[in-house]
């Protein structure tokens, strides 16, 4: 049986607090009939507090887009895992390609962040993915394997079992270019194989692997039909309640059709 679908919205650096309130209220209303999808919303830090309050009586979970690898300290401008927990976060996106590209985060730092998140009971959504040049040079599997090994593979098995992985080819993020369902599935099954080999079949079977990169309502079904694609990390289309809700509904329907077929 397929894993429970998992849809996360990454709002990036969009929406001030009042815009966030309007958006999350509309998402909440639109998704209230959905029971079989894990839904996570990741607003900017400044909107976490207000969004958290609106989500208290719902099954929708709160996530952050980044955090630092220490619980507290003299780290001007950073946010700690305990602060995220305090405001109601259960998830945190780590290693997003925009963090790697614009803020020079490397696999070593990301690994530290992943370990700290787990230590403070946050679920890390760890992003892996190759650039266009790396894919054209046919290095995409090697790149993702290195990212996997450096960011994750030294975790204890119990910790690893709690992680969520997002495969996000950099060339598909915000470009309107989605990986084809077959391209995405190939990489997802490769990551699943790494999990099986490095950890165990049980860990491999359990971990949700999300696809990210120009996911929209009209490509959700064809992606989610693939056996190793468990959900999506959605950027642009999560900024509009209608498209985000439609992605969630597509994910639920595709899952139900898979169970019943
Ligand atoms: P996109 O972003 O859906 O706008 O391509 C995905 C992401 O960056 O997580």
User: What are the tens digits of pLDDT across the range 200-240?
Assistant: 999 999 999 999 999 999 999 999 999 999 999 999 999 99
Task: Choose which residue among 6, 7, 8, 10 to substitute to test ligand 1 binding: the one with the highest number of ligand atoms within 8 A of its C-beta.
Answer: 10
Residues 81-108 have a mean pLDDT of 97
Determine which helix (DSSP H) or strand (DSSP E) holds 212, and give its type and residue range: strand 209-212
Centre of ligand 1 from the C-alpha of residue 261, in Å: 31
Ligand 1 atom with the smallest distance to the CA of 93 is: 9
Going from the Cα of 212 to the center of ligand 1, the distance in angstroms, rounded, reads: 6
Q: Model confidence at 51, in pLDDT bands (50, 70, 90)?
A: very high
Scored b (16 or more CB within 10 A) or e, 66-77 reads bbbbeeeeeeee
Tokens 């630092």, residue?
68
Task: Count Cβ atoms below 10 Å from residue 260 Cβ, excluding itself.
Answer: 6
Mean pLDDT (the chain) is 95
Spatial distance between the Cα atoms of 192 and 185, rounded to a whole number of angstroms = 10
- Say which of 105, 130, 168, 250 is annotated catalytic: 168
**Whether the predicted pLDDT of 78 surpasses 90:** yes
Check if the beta carbon of residue 17 is closer than 8 Å to that of residue 25. Answer: no
Q: Which of 173, 214, 219, 237 to mutate to test the pocket of ligand 1 (most atoms within 8 A of CB)?
A: 173
pLDDT of 260 reads 63
Phi, psi of 212 (to 5 degrees): -135, 140
pLDDT bucket at 175, cuts 50 / 70 / 90 = confident
pLDDT category, 143, cuts 50, 70, 90? very high
- pLDDT score at 200: 94
Average pLDDT over residues 8-16: 98
Instruction: List domains and CATH numbers for the chain.
Output: 6-260 (3.20.20.70)
Q: Which of 249, 239, 252 is nearest to 217 (CA)?
A: 249
Nearest CA among 10, 209, 228, 227 for reference residue 98: 10
Tell how far the Cα of 252 is from the centroid of ligand 1, in angstroms: 20
Q: Give the helix, strand, coil percentages of the chain, each rounded to 5.
A: 50, 15, 35
- At 259, the pLDDT band (50, 70, 90 cuts) reads confident
In the structure, what pLDDT confidence band is assigned to residue 189 with cuts at 50, 70 and 90?
very high
Residue 237 CA to residue 240 CA, distance in Å, equals: 6
Known catalytic residue at 136: no
Whole-number Å distance between alpha carbons of 139 and 141: 6
Separation of 215 CA from ligand 1 center, angstroms?
Answer: 7
Look at the pTM and tell me if it is higher than 0.85.
Answer: yes
126-144 mean pLDDT = 96
Q: Which residue is listed with tokens 């077929």?
A: 261
Torsion sign, CA atoms 170, 171, 173, 178: negative
For residue 1, what pLDDT is reported?
A: 60
Closest protein CA for atom 1 of ligand 1? 235
Give nearest CA residue, ligand 1 atom 3: 235
* Helix residue ranges per DSSP H, 137-228: 140-151, 157-160, 181-198, 201-206, 217-224
Cβ atoms 239, 15 nearer than 8 A: yes
Provide residues with CB under 6 Å of ligand 1.
Answer: 10, 168, 173-174, 212-215, 233-237
| Centroid of ligand 1 to alpha carbon of 211 (angstroms) | 10
Instruction: Please confirm, yes or no, whether 96 is among the known catalytic residues.
Output: yes
Q: How many CB atoms lie within 10 A of CB 137?
A: 12
Distance 154 CA to ligand 1 centre (A): 27
Number of the ligand 1 atom closest to the C-alpha atom of 237: 3
The Cα–Cα gap between 220 and 226 comes to 10
Tokens of 70: 């220490």
**Of 98-107, 160-169, 173-182, which gets the smallest average pLDDT?**
173-182
- The pLDDT confidence band at residue 176, using thresholds 50, 70 and 90, is confident
Residue located nearest, by CA, to atom 9 of ligand 1 = 235
The whole-number pLDDT of residue 178 equals: 82
Q: State the pLDDT confidence band at 177, using cuts at 50, 70 and 90.
A: confident
Q: What is the structure's pLDDT at 261?
A: 61
Place of tokens 């999506």: 232
**pLDDT at residue 205, as a whole number:** 96
């Amino acid at each position: 049986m397929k894993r429970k679908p998992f849809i996360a919205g990454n709002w990036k650096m969009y929406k001030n607090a009042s815009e966030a309130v309007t958006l999350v209220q509309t998402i909440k209303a639109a998704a209230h009939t959905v029971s079989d999808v894990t839904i996570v919303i990741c607003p900017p830090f400044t909107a976490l507090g207000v969004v958290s309050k609106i989500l208290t009586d719902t099954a929708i979970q709160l996530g952050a887009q980044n955090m630092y690898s220490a619980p507290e300290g003299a780290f001007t401008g950073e946010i700690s895992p305990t602060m995220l927990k305090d405001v109601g976060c259960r998830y945190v996106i780590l290693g997003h390609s925009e963090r790697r590209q614009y803020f020079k985060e490397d696999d070593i730092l990301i690994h530290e962040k992943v370990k700290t998140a787990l230590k403070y009971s946050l679920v890390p959504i760890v992003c892996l993915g190759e650039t266009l040049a790396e894919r054209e040079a046919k290095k995409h599997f090697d790149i993702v394997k290195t990212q996997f090994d450096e960011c994750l593979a030294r975790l204890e098995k119990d910790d690893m079992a709690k992680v969520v992985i997002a495969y996000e080819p950099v060339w598909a993020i915000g470009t309107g270019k989605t990986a084809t369902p077959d391209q995405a599935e190939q990489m997802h099954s490769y990551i699943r194989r790494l999990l099986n080999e490095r950890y165990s079949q049980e860990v491999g079977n359990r971990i949700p692997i999300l696809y990210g990169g120009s996911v929209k309502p009209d490509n959700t079904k064809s992606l989610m039909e693939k056996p190793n694609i468990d959900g999506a990390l959605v950027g642009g289309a999560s900024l509009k309640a209608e498209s985000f809700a439609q992605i969630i509904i597509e994910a639920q329907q595709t899952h139900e059709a898979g169970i019943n077929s």
